[in-house]
Homo-oligomer: A and B are copies of this chain.
């Protein structure tokens, strides 16, 4: 199995955590999202993934999988143990909704291509870009906090006491928030869960700074 990713991409980070939780290994193929205008736009990469985005997984059978949450669901179906989703359908729905609240409400608005569009095509200032980042990430995290604080389903992790797809999405988004110096004091439950996750080797080993393509900063 091959994983095309980038050390600091929060969507590739999700897949690294999922692979680690499943005890699977993949050959990492770095796709540098910034250098030379972005290696994800090269024809040999867009032939694989027309969305010009990471991650992409190529399975041992040669199938090409895109979109991090679709890849995680595929991992769950092909390698069910340990599970990334609880068994109860309503709990599964809660986990997926939390993951999607990140994948559909936060990340799409604050990823590299959108931030680049703001300062590029739209001509906004760096300050405007940062205000945009903080607005959408801050709003999204406050809404996530409301989903977990005091909810009976919340345990050591977002759902109960085992990590799930929800935690797989949470940790990379909080990593991203810290890169932008976002104040997380309004999200104590998220911060507590993030800490519990990062104590697990599956999460720690997936951290951006531990990847082979991590830049020395």
Judged by DSSP, the binding face of A is helix
A100–B93 Cα distance when bound, in Å, is 16
A52–B46 Cα distance when bound, in Å, is 36
Q: Is A69 on the interface with B (CB-CB < 8 A)?
A: yes
A105–B70 Cα distance when bound, in Å, is 14
Q: Is A128 on the interface with B (CB-CB < 8 A)?
A: yes
Chain B nearest CB, measured from A108 CB (Å) = 4
A147–B106 Cα distance when bound, in Å, is 24
Query: Could you tell me if B109 and A66 are in contact, using CB atoms closer than 8 angstroms?
Result: no
Query: Could you tell me if A101 and B135 are in contact, using CB atoms closer than 8 angstroms?
Result: no
Query: Could you tell me if A89 and B77 are in contact, using CB atoms closer than 8 angstroms?
Result: yes
B-contacting 9-mer, from A27-35, A114-122, A181-189, A194-202: A114-122
Query: Could you tell me if A93 and B128 are in contact, using CB atoms closer than 8 angstroms?
Result: no
Query: Which residues of the partner chain B approach A50 to less than 8 Å between Cβ atoms?
Result: 143, 146-147
Query: Could you tell me if B69 and A100 are in contact, using CB atoms closer than 8 angstroms?
Result: yes
Chain B nearest CB, measured from A207 CB (Å) = 23
Size range of the chain A interface in the assembly: 35 or more
Query: Could you tell me if A92 and B74 are in contact, using CB atoms closer than 8 angstroms?
Result: yes
A61–B73 Cα distance when bound, in Å, is 26
A66–B98 Cα distance when bound, in Å, is 9
Task: Given contacts A66-B101, A74-B96, A109-B114, list 20 more A-B pairs with CB under 8 A.
Answer: A46-B146, A50-B146, A51-B147, A53-B105, A59-B90, A67-B97, A69-B96, A70-B94, A70-B96, A70-B100, A73-B93, A74-B89, A74-B90, A74-B93, A77-B89, A104-B107, A104-B108, A108-B108, A108-B109, A122-B132
